[in-house]
Amino acid sequence: MEDRKTIYLCLAHMSEEGYEQKYVKEAFDTNWVVPMGPNVNAFEQSLADFANRNSDGSVLDRKIVCLSAGTAAVHLALVACGVTAGDEVCVQSFTFCASSNPITYLGAKPVFIDSERQTWNMDPDLLEKAIVERKKATGRYPKAIIPVALYGMPYDCERIMAVADRYGIPVIEDAAEGMGSRFNGRVLGTFGRFGVLSFNGNKMITTSGGGALICGSTEDADNVMWHATQARDAYPYYQHTEIGYNYRMSNVCAGIGRGQMKVLDSHISHHKHVQELYKELLKEVPGVTLHEQPDDPRYDSNFWLCAATLDPDVRIQGQDNAYKEIVRTAVGGAAGVIKSVDTAVTDCQPNDNVEALRVFMLSKRVECRPVWKPMHRQPVYADAVAYVNGVSEEIFKVGFCLPAGPCVTDDDVRYIVDCIKEAIIQ
């Protein structure tokens, strides 16, 4: 197997027809190599057409603003919701840091909400408890609520929106991992005041980097656009009455996005197919449980990543050596620069068998990373308020992710499952 390709968790890929190259070439040929232009406008329209189309044939009227990153989209949504220093924002704990870090950019404070067990997403009961108790403690309601579509799985949009409406708090849906996932036939990101999309290289579609904000009104879209372009007032010279940001998407990157929209539906179908194949092949593997969407027709996940759990009593090859060596390089794909550490362990980490499985699968050229570490257990947020029930931390200790991207073939899935079986000590 020395010549086998590395099977990554999720990498978007270009359309076979080469639409991306066509639109990028147009950007260079017409000298639109700036953060505006025809590709940006067309990409926004394509995204709006997709997001506004409900499964029952009805149509919404959401506006789209393309930005430099999904993180920028979260940031600008918070700005538009009036979040300022000292405010609190309820945010899902079980997610990537990009959901909560923008809160701190504004000097505000995250209030972390744990997960309900079925979807692994924000627990509506804990959310309401947090809202009521923070009002008693601070005299003010949180300024916004950020649920997250973890690994593409829809959150309980109906209950979360009901809680938000009850207290008059705007919702910013973080659908960065959930592009194309639906709840009751409606695309995630269209329920709240804002919806966040990401086009990072590992998402359902990519612009190499980039993101977008789904806005519930033209007024919100115009406000976000203004802030994304340095908040310049309408004078023949540069005048600014608010702090703005350089967050607009490049016309070159948007060209890639236009081409990627041609394959979005096929990418979603492929991810769903891979999930079903894992379900079939893993059902007889003892101790491994695939994370599935609720048996409820309202839930329609894109299965951006396929996730599973490993029972604590399952023994894995190399388990006795887990966490014995300090990690020296970035783990998994293009993980970027990491800061060196002086210990191989922390006080909250995956079980030894999960780490052993990661290492074993890596030796087979398969990425098999842990699930997200809950943000309320991150050192940087040690002093943050958190409403927890133990669910996300429990899943973090036993959970792992399986490759599911467009480049993952049926043979790859069979190989991955065979490697998992090989890793388990009978």
Between vectors from CA 214 to CA 125 and to CA 52, what angle results, nearest 5°?
A: 95
CA of residue 315 relative to chain centroid, distance: 31
Domain boundary among 214, 231, 263: 263
- 119 falls within a domain: yes
- Based on the fold, state whether residues 93 and 241 are members of the same structural domain: yes
Q: Bridge partners of 370?
A: 400
Residues in the chain: 426
Question: Domain of 394: which CATH number?
Answer: 3.90.1150.10
Q: State the average pLDDT for the chain.
A: 95
Do 44 and 67 contact (CB within 8 A), yes or no?
A: no
Question: Domain of 220: which CATH number?
Answer: 3.40.640.10
- The backbone region for 284, taken as left when phi is positive above 0, alpha when psi lies in -120 to 50, beta otherwise, is alpha
Q: How far apart are the first and last CA of the chain?
A: 23
pLDDT in tens, 252-274: 999 999 999 999 999 999 999 99
Percent of the chain with pLDDT over 70: 97
Our count of domains for the chain comes to 2
Contacts of 375 (CB under 8 A, 6+ apart): 91, 93, 94, 95, 97, 99, 100, 110, 112, 381, 384
Quickly state the pLDDT bin for 342 (edges 50, 70, 90).
confident
pLDDT in tens, 116-161: 999 999 999 999 999 999 999 999 999 999 999 999 999 999 999 9
**In terms of Cα–Cα distance, which of 175, 307, 306, 198 is closest to 260?**
198
pLDDT reading at 332 higher than 60: no
Q: Which helix (H) or strand (E) holds 362?
A: helix 352-363
- Based on the fold, state whether residues 66 and 112 are members of the same structural domain: yes
pLDDT in tens, 53-93: 999 999 999 999 999 999 999 999 999 999 999 999 999 99
For residue 335, the model assigns a pLDDT of 56
Quickly state the pLDDT bin for 30 (edges 50, 70, 90).
very high
- Based on the fold, state whether residues 175 and 29 are members of the same structural domain: yes
Strands 211-215 and 194-198: antiparallel
- 11 falls within a domain: no
Q: Compute the average pLDDT of residues 337-351.
A: 91
The residue to which tokens 């607009």 are assigned: 248
For residue 365, the model assigns a pLDDT of 96
pLDDT reading at 328 higher than 90: no
Q: Compute the average pLDDT of residues 367-373.
A: 96
For residue 146, the model assigns a pLDDT of 99
pLDDT reading at 394 higher than 80: yes
Distance CA 113, CA 134 (A): 12
For the whole model, what pTM was predicted?
A: 0.96
- Based on the fold, state whether residues 236 and 385 are members of the same structural domain: no
DSSP states of 74-98: HHHHHHHTT--TT-EEEEESSS-GG
- Based on the fold, state whether residues 252 and 214 are members of the same structural domain: yes
Range of the domain at 129: 19-263
